[in-house]
């Protein structure tokens, strides 16, 4: 019998980038994320009495995107599952299938939802272990740091010492992703975590992030949306400049990314309002809208979807 579980992705507005302890994924600074319930990874497990080792393959279903893990990605996924089996007292070997309802390895935080879903599925197979949501998040963090933010929401703060939901007075945000490049990243997020430490600009990066987290929380609490936009804008640029100045330097931004960002600034200037904007370690651009910004949400789709595919709350939208 198959045991299935799923977990959402999340988008950090204050970024997790750089680790003080790579083995245990301890972050250099605190991060703040918003849970994206409509972007999910699905994992299912089934014992394989004839298997001599755990085996992964894509989860094929009409509502899921085709996926193929690299050898490195597959090894990391299976290695973490072996740790989960010990954690949850599971014996034998398993068939493991997984897939997302969104593209993987292109800056949409697929590792967060993947490892969270794998942790949930393994826990669901256990009949002897009881864990809280926080305990599951802490376990999942050992596989993918950002996955610990996919166990609650909508707002989650992750520090070097804790993972906790944050009570902010705004929720039910609408979400879009402008897909400037859907290809697999040449530099993985794990590699980026190491490379940013070589940038001369990493000095004081943790302090900058901590200050922005405090400022963003206050802006959102007071309903100062334009302030929140500026903080988020500065934060993702801070992270990407670290990529550009590492040794060796690398880039996720494309010409398409920069074109979209320029247009977003023009729209904000003309309308005096707009979505919060951020980018993860990839070329794609995330937009978060207040519930009262339905017309703005539709306008941005009409502006950008003719040139770029998008993910929206309604699903995937090919270039129109």
Domains of the chain, residue spans: 3-165, 174-317
pLDDT at 262 over 60: yes
Residue pLDDT, tens place only, 102-113? 766 545 657 899
pLDDT of residue 104: 65
Task: Dig out the tokens for 170 from the structure.
Answer: 């705004």
| Average pLDDT over every residue of 40-47 | 96
Residues 145, 27 contacting (CB under 8 angstroms):
yes
| Average pLDDT over every residue of 228-239 | 98
Residue pLDDT, tens place only, 272-286? 999 999 999 989 999
Could you give the 3-state DSSP secondary structure of residue 271? helix
Residues 81, 96 contacting (CB under 8 angstroms):
yes
Measured CA angle at 14 (ends 276, 72), to 5 deg: 110
Residue pLDDT, tens place only, 49-101? 999 999 999 999 999 987 888 898 899 999 999 999 999 999 999 999 999 98
Kindly indicate whether the domain formed by 174-317 is annotated with CATH number 3.30.70.890: yes
pLDDT of residue 261: 98
Could you give the 3-state DSSP secondary structure of residue 240? helix
Gap between the Cα atoms of 287 and 307, Å rounded? 16
Average pLDDT value over all residues in the chain: 94
Q: Which residue has the higher pLDDT, 184 or 251?
A: 251
List Cα–Cα distances, 150 to 118, 133, 212, in angstroms. Answer: 12, 10, 21
List Cα–Cα distances, 154 to 8, 34, 166, 230, 231, in angstroms. Answer: 11, 5, 8, 21, 19
> What CATH number does domain 3-165 carry, 3.30.70.2740, 3.30.230.10, 3.40.50.300, 3.30.1360.70?
3.30.230.10
């Amino acid at each position: 019998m198959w045991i299935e579980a799923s977990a959402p992705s999340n988008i950090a507005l204050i970024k997790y980038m750089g680790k003080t302890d790579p083995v245990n994924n301890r972050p250099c600074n605190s991060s703040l994320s918003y849970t994206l319930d409509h972007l999910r990874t699905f994992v299912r497990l089934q014992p394989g009495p004839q298997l001599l080792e755990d085996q992964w393959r894509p989860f094929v279903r009409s509502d899921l995107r085709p996926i193929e893990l690299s050898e490195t990605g597959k090894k990391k996924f299976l290695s973490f599952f072996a740790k989960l089996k010990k954690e949850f007292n599971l014996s034998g070997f398993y068939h493991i299938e997984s897939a997302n309802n969104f593209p993987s390895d292109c800056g949409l935080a697929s590792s967060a939802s993947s490892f969270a879903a794998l942790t949930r599925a393994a826990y669901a197979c256990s009949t002897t272990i009881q864990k809280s949501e926080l305990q599951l998040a802490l376990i999942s963090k050992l596989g993918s740091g950002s996955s610990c933010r996919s166990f609650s929401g909508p707002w989650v703060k992750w520090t070097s010492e804790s993972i906790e939901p944050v009570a902010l007075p705004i929720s039910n945000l609408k979400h879009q992703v402008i897909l400037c490049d859907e290809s697999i990243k040449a530099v993985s997020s794990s590699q980026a975590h190491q490379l940013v430490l070589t940038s001369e600009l990493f000095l004081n990066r943790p302090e900058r992030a901590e200050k922005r987290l405090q400022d963003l929380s206050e802006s959102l609490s007071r309903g100062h949306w334009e302030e929140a936009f500026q903080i988020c804008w500065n934060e993702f640029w801070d992270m990407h400049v670290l990529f550009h100045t590492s040794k060796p330097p690398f880039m996720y931004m494309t010409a398409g990314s920069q074109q979209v960002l320029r247009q977003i600034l023009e729209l904000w200037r003309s309308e005096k309002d707009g979505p919060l904007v951020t980018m993860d370690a990839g070329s794609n651009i995330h937009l978060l809208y207040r519930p009262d910004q339905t017309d703005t949400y539709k306008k941005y789709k009409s502006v950008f979807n003719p040139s770029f595919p998008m993910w929206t709350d309604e699903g995937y939208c090919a270039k129109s």
